[in-house]
Amino acid sequence: MFFYPYGFFDGSMIFLIPAIIFALYAQSTVKSTFNKYLRVPTQRGYTGYDVARGILDQNGLRDVPVELTNGHLSDHYDPRKRTLRLSHEVYHGSSVASVSVAAHEVGHAIQHANGYVPLSLRNAIFPVASFGSQMAWVFILAGFFLQGMTVLVDVGILLYSAAVAFQVVTLPVEFNASSRALTLLDTNGYVAGNELQGSQKVLRAAALTYVAAMATAVAQLLRLLVLRNNRRR
Q: 100 Cβ partners below 8 Å, 6+ apart?
A: 37, 181, 185, 191, 198, 199, 202, 203
Amino acid at 185: L
Catalytic residue check, 105? yes
Catalytic residue among 89, 105, 174, 195: 105
Q: What are phi and psi of 8, to 5 degrees?
A: -65, -25
CA-to-CA distance for 66 and 186, rounded, in angstroms? 21
Amino acid at 59: N
**Would you name the residues annotated as active-site residues?**
105
